[in-house]
Amino acid sequence: MAASTATAPTDRIDVFWDSGMLNHNSGNGVFDTGMDPGFLDVLEKHPENSDRVKNMVSILKRGPISPYISWLPGRPALLSELLSFHSSEYINELVEADRDGGKMLCAGTFLNPGSWGASLLAAGTTLSAMKHVLDGHGKIAYALVRPPGHHAQPTRADGYCFLNNAGLAVQFALNSGCAKVAVIDIDVHYGNGTAEGFYRSDKVLTTSLHMNHGSWGPSHPQNGSVDELGEAEGFGYNLNIPLPNGTGDRGYRHAMTELVVPAIQKFEPEMMVLVIGQDSSAFDPNGRQCLTMEGYQEIGRIVRSLADRHCSGRLLIVQEGGYHVTYSAYCLHATLEGVLNLPTSLLSDPIAYYPEDEALAVEVIKSIKKFQKDNVPFLKGA
């Protein structure tokens, strides 16, 4: 652990958390299937399990970043609040599934006893974090929530997600008077649910840096490709950045500086939402993007500078994936160090080194940049 001289920090992150979110249990099986093939002595926990978030909580409470963290309680969302993003038919489906004792809503996505209460807590806690920032009680808030939400679309569950926590918070900001909100999603998977919710809006710029995984079935029809740009008034305001496997720290930094920063500068949002998933890390079971703590720290730093420049420092961070029980917590710590603009790292990387070659990523980013300049009206001339 690196030595820290931080005392009485002048900057802080307000973390919203409720332990009731640990009550969501996706079960055991072969990876995320819930299946017992009958020939394995040890069945692993579903990737989206409570252990990963317990370590995130503990590293913020007892790790070297703790002096910079303030803790605030979460709350369950009201059903009426959910209708700002989700359809009443879909919410009724979830309520009925909970009442009936649970349901597999799609591949890998299990609503079990305790899941619905945890989902309501995740949504309400994220809404409280957004309100906290909008009301001027703090500049930076982090909704440390589960189940995750960015795959949940207005009318369906997807990819471990039931309610779109970030989407609900963005809509709340718009309803509260924000003229424009920018979303930067760095989870390893396409933030398709958030994109779908604002696909026809020019008030929300959704930007997603993700593994080039394409559609994975009926629950996730979107491809996350560069040509999914939005529709009607929202055309050009959904920017997908599908990156090759193994992009790494330098590749992600290049994508941020070449694609994300210019788009945010042109869009000029009043509120910034950073959607984080540590499944882009070098050792995550669900991704292959090879980010290390250094890469996450740099992303946090870049997003903070954008929030300072365009949003008067207002930034909401929303937790999504990240499935390596130990390294996800370390990468979260690094991300928040970057957001805090700390001059030196407070925590050393247990991996320390991971070989990377960003040459392919640089070429892909160059191609995406050309495509966007040719096809996105508000980016022409950027």
Query: Which residues does 10 contact at the CB level (< 8 Å), separation at least 6?
Result: none
Query: Hey, is 191 helix, strand or coil?
Result: coil
Say if residues 268 and 276 touch (Cβ distance below 8 Å). no
Per DSSP, the residues of 70-125 read: EEEE--PPPHHHHTTTS-HHHHHHHHHHHHTT-EEEETTEEE-TTHHHHHHHHHHH
CA distance 228 to 213: 14
CA distances from 84 to 162, 171, 175, 272 (A): 15, 7, 9, 19
Rg of the chain on CA atoms, in Å? 19
The residue annotated as part of the active site, out of 46, 86, 151, 254, is 151
Is 151 annotated in the active site? yes
Query: Which of 168, 147, 164 has its CA nearest to residue 21?
Result: 147
> What is the residue whose two structure tokens read 């055309």?
235
CB burial string 254-277: b at 16+ within 10 A, e below: bbbebbbbebbeebebbbbbbbbb
Q: How many helices (H) and strands (E) does the chain have?
A: 11, 12
Active centre residues (catalytic): 151
